[in-house]
A = this chain, B = another copy of it.
Amino acid sequence: MNEKDYIARYEKRNFDAPLVTVDAVLFTYHEGFLKVLLVKRSAHPEKGKWALPGGFVSETEDNSLEATANRKLKEKTSVIPPYLEQLYSFGGPSRDKRGWSVTVAYTALIAHQCCASAINTVSSVDWLPYSQISQLSLAFDHQEIISRAHERLVQKALYTIVPAFALPETFTLPELQQVHEAIIGKPIQKKSFRRRIEQANLLVDTGEKRSEKGRPAALYRLSESSADHKFIRNLEL
């Protein structure tokens, strides 16, 4: 038999396959806190519990796993996040009561204001402070997924400026530092933080300033491909 015939006769449903879902841990920064987007489950299983936004891969709608993640996030926030990165795949016989399942988890970042309206209009979707999540009873193994996502985000905060995607398009350096500090959970030396960003040319000065109390701060935006930049030396943890 040649390959063409083999493919023609192949029947997926003759084989037992795990369930495949995609889940996203969407972080933002708001009012001093690192927050995670959670969705209250309206259907079985785990009905009524908070869970990560996500769901089954659609063979017709999705051209990639990333597409599934973006589609699911858009359903809940009405926008596609500016930063999305695959985190890890979790699989096993008992993480979902329906049977052997795999979820491909993504980490995403977005500015809080970007989807504030979409979220405030429904009660089943909300931002929860990361620090409080460990006290909740989440669906499936989502507690573990979130903690793994946070772990990785901490690392990113030490050698990239990826956390900038949790802020609006323009932001001040003190704001960016606050995000980093909220993520890693301890203060950073202002000088070290600014020096490395300047030397690597990761930000573009918009020329504008933002003033609240005290001296106005310069407003920056991310420069081209600065999301990919890795410092060769980490900040101290």
Contacts and interface: CB of A to CB of B under 8 A. Distances in A.
B100 A59 contact: yes
Interface string A61-84: 011110000000000000000000
A193 to B, nearest CB: 16
Interface stretch (A13-21, A25-33, A130-138, A182-190): A13-21
A18 B100 contact: no
B59 A93 contact: yes
A92 interface: yes
Q: Determine the interface band of chain A, counting residues with CB < 8 A from chain B.
A: 35 or more
A46 to B, nearest CB: 8
Given A86-B89, A97-B3, A15 B56 contact: yes
Contacts of A65: 89-92, 102
Interface of A: 1, 3, 6-7, 10, 12-13, 15-20, 44-47, 56-57, 59, 62-65, 86, 88-93, 97-100, 102, 104, 232-234, 236
A74 to B, nearest CB: 18
Contact of A92 (B7, B45, B64, B232): B64
Contacts of A15: 19, 56
Contact of A19 (B17, B90, B100, B234): B17
A64 B1 CA distance: 34
B89 A44 contact: no
25 contacts: A3-B46, A3-B47, A7-B98, A12-B16, A12-B17, A12-B98, A12-B99, A13-B13, A15-B19, A16-B59, A17-B57, A18-B59, A20-B102, A59-B99, A62-B93, A63-B93, A64-B92, A65-B89, A86-B88, A89-B89, A89-B104, A91-B104, A102-B104, A232-B234, A233-B233
